[in-house]
Structure 1
Amino acid sequence: MKIVLIGGSGHIGSYLIPKLVHAGHKVLNISRGQSKPYKEDNLWREVENIVLNRDNEPNGEFERKIAAINADIVIDLINFSLADTKNMVEALKNTNLSHFLYCSSIWAHGKSTTLPILEDQPRFPLDEYGIDKAKSEAFLHDLYRKEGFPETVIMPGQISGAGWVIINPVGNLDVSVFKKIQRGEKIAIPNFGMETLHHVHADDVAQVFFQAISHRNSALGESFHAVGSQSITLLGYAQALYRWFGHEENIDFLPWNEWCDYTKDKEHIEKTYLHIVRSGHFSIEKGKRLINYCPRHTLLETVFESVTFLSKNNWLEK
């Protein structure tokens, strides 16, 4: 099969592309040419890399160039708007396409209602990102039902792994939180620390895409959560890291407004809010049943691998 990945040099593609090459597919990676894969693999030598930037190709020209490749499978990892989704679908309709995989997000769910959260339960997205992901997902599923357009939606959680800063135990990207825990110093967690995060290794996200391709007939017209088997509370996450670094836990719990005053940084506060307001636990039972998804990494294994990278590469130095 000829497979096009759009945005294949990022977190997901770094693990997905070698899987596809190893399986015997011809893979073309569409990227802006500004970054290298997070994980080195000799199989990248067999990948055709094409430099193309969606932002520089207005009025559907980007999608028409993708369609001109005439791939059997198109995986769009960097589509953030309904307009781009519609342009892509329109461009691909008269090609050899047999499967289109769209990368959505668990953020398309918005606030949790019942737990565990199922892929097809009512959505309450909170921000433009989640709203657009939910709209694209609904558009694609409707098109599958009405016209048979061969689509599948994958919904990753908090994508984690070696090579980048992962979400910390207060729900944002402030590396100083990891530094304090490493030194056994006190951190402050908002509320009672009962909100949850759902870290997932990028390799397991890639596995969901791969399994959806391998089980195409079962995957068509469906959404699948790309998460691990567990979620974790902010408190549990912090406790695990203190133990891992060899310290007793040293945690303050502050009411939301006091925590905001303590934190001060508006970007960190906003990031935390957007994570904890969406607290939940996302089911992977449909992925297990229909496409044989089985996470290879536990949540804490993923976290420890990620923080080990930060430490070894001096990201946690003063």
Structure 2
Amino acid sequence: MRIVVIGATGHIGGYLVPRLIQDGHDVVAITRGNSAPYREDPAWERVERVIADREAEDAAGIFGSRVAELEPDVVVDMICFTPESARQLADSLRGRARQLVHVGTIWTHGTLTEVPAPEDAVKQPWGEYGTQKEAIERLLLAESRRQDGLPVAIVHPGHISGPGWPIITPQGTTDLEVWRTLANGRELLLPGFGLETVHHVHADDVAQLIRLCLEQPDEANGEAFHAVSERALTLRGFAQEAARWFGVDARLRFVPFDEFSASLSEEHRDSAFQHVARSHAMSIEKGRRLLGYAPAYSSLAAVAESVEWLRQAGRLGDGIPPVRFG
């Protein structure tokens, strides 16, 4: 197939695009600039590159037609953030492409009632990002379920992890000081009783689920799927396990959220609130049952690989021992 990937050089695309090439597909990568992929791979030499500023071209009403003119069989959209952008793309691809795979977020769920939450749980999104992504999901699922609509499958990743970038810590931030604190056996503050949750996923497992949607369109189209690991992590358990990677016991102190938030640097306070307040724990039963989704990484394995990459890249400073996981 000829597959156009929008936002191809990001975290997920770094795994997805080489795998699509290995699967025998022709891949066109649309990016805003000449950025290098997060992961080097010889397969990128066989990828057609197209540079486009989506935001500007959406505003001009031409981005959807630009994508359609590439004559894709399938489009994988990693970077759609508004319903209007989604509508323009769907209008341009309707009747011309076999399938659109939209990459959303588990934040479409907002606050949860039961956990692990299935895809069809009543959604209560909050915050601009989650609210916009939930509106996109409703628009595209309605489009896919129309008799003459564009077939659409939706993949909702959790907290994306893997080598190459900071990942969500037991404080719900990307603050690298958390890993240094745990590695050195220093005290780490956590909110409440540390029983709030975060749900990670390795970028390669997101790529796996996207590929399953491409391989099984009859089962995938008109549906949304969670791309997360088998199980979420409590903040307390996450911190304790991470400290053990460095051969020490975690020194944790539990405080009210306001005190916890005040202890963080200003740049990390909002991230902590966004993650801790949502406290997501998602089900993957639907993806397993319909598509055979089987994440290769647990949450801890995905994060451990990420932290070891940060250490080897010198991002954690001197004197941090290697991560010993599993």
* TM-score over 0.5 (shorter chain): yes
Task: Please identify, of 254-263 and 190-199, the stretch whose mean Cα deviation from structure 2 is larger.
Answer: 254-263
Over residues 204-248 of structure 1, what are the superposed CA-to-partner deviations in whole Å (9 max), with x where a residue is unaligned? 000000011011110010000000101000111100111111112
Counterpart of 2:176 in structure 1 is 175
Instruction: Give me the whole-angstrom Cα distance separating, in 2, the residues matched to 1:119 and 1:34.
Output: 36
Q: Percent identical across equivalent pairs?
A: 40
Report the TM-score when normalising by structure 2: 0.95
CA distance, structure 1, for counterparts of residue 7 and residue 114 of structure 2:
33
Q: Look up the match of 2:55.
A: 55
In the alignment, the residues of structure 1 paired with residue 127 and residue 218 of structure 2 have an alpha-carbon distance, to the nearest angstrom, of 33
1:113 aligns with 2:96: no
Q: Once the 2 structures are TM-superposed, how far is the Cα of residue 94 of structure 1 from its aligned partner?
A: 4.0
- Farther-moved stretch of structure 1 (182-191 vs 305-314): 182-191
Comparing 144-153 with 17-26, greater Cα deviation is found at 144-153
Q: Pairwise CA RMSD of aligned residues?
A: 1.1
Q: Which runs of 5+ in 2 are unaligned?
A: 319-326
The corresponding residue for 2:322 is: none
* Residue deviations 1:265-293 (CA, integer Å, cap 9, x gap): 23311111110111132111110111111
Contact 1:60–1:88 (Cα < 8 Å) also in 2:
no
Question: For residue 315 of structure 1, what is the aligned residue in structure 2?
Answer: 315
Q: Whole-Å Cα distance in 2 between the matches of residues 233 and 43 of structure 1?
A: 38
How far, CA to CA, are the matches of 2:243 and 2:257 in structure 1? 23
Q: How many residues align?
A: 316
**How far apart, CA to CA, are the structure 1 residues paired with 2:308 and 2:35?**
22
For 1:277, what is the secondary structure of its paired residue? helix
Question: Do residues 130 (structure 1) and 130 (structure 2) align?
Answer: yes
What CA distance in whole angstroms lies between the structure 2 residues aligned with 1:296 and 1:307?
Answer: 18
Report matched runs for 1:98-247 at 5 Å: 98-147=98-147, 148-247=149-248
For 2:102, what is the secondary structure of its paired residue? strand
Match of 2:60, SS state, is coil
**Alpha-carbon contact 1:21-1:46 (below 8 Å) kept:** yes
d(CA) in 2 for partners of 1:181, 1:220: 43
User: Tell me, what secondary structure is at the counterpart of 1:131?
Assistant: helix
1:287 paired residue number: 287
Which residue in the other structure is 2:263 paired with?
262
CA distance in 2, matches of 1:92, 1:133: 20
Q: Which whole-Å CA distance do the structure 2 matches of 1:145 and 1:30 have between them?
A: 27
- 4+ aligned runs moved over 4 Å, structure 1: none
Structure 2 contact 21–43 (Cα < 8 Å) conserved: yes
Provide the secondary structure at the position in 2 that maps to 1:50: strand
Mapped partners of 1:259, 1:273: distance in 2: 10
Q: Aligned partners of 2:256, 2:302: CA distance in 1, in Å? A: 29
C-alpha deviation, 1:189, in angstroms = 0.8
Paired residues of 2:160 and 2:203 also in contact (CA < 8 A): yes
User: What SS does structure 1 have at the residue aligned with 2:156?
Assistant: strand
Find the aligned partners of 1:60 and 1:184 in 2 and give their Cα distance. Answer: 54
CA distance in structure 1 between the aligned counterparts of 2:211 and 2:27, rounded to whole angstroms: 13
Whether the aligned pair in 1 keeps the contact of 2:208 and 2:293 (CA below 8 Å) is: yes
Opposite residue 295 of structure 2, the aligned amino acid is P
1:221 is matched by which residue type in structure 2? G
- Structure 1 counterpart of 2:249: 248
CA distance in 2: counterparts of 1:116 and 1:261, whole angstroms: 30
In structure 1, the residue matched to 2:45 is: 45
Is 1:91 aligned to 2:76, yes or no?
Answer: no
Whether the aligned pair in 1 keeps the contact of 2:154 and 2:224 (CA below 8 Å) is yes
Q: Is the 8 A contact 2:118 2:282 kept in 1?
A: yes
Secondary structure at the aligned position of 2:278 is classed as coil
1:3 and 2:6 matched: no
Q: Which amino acid aligns with 2:40?
A: E
Q: Following the alignment from structure 1 to structure 2, what is the Cα–Cα distance between the partners of residues 243 and 73?
A: 44
What is the TM-score of this pair, normalised by structure 1?
0.97
- Output the CA distance in 1 between the equivalents of 2:95 and 2:60: 18
Alignment partner of 1:27 is 2:27: yes
Q: CA deviation at 1:34?
A: 4.3
C-alpha distance in 1 between matches for 2:160 and 2:218: 26
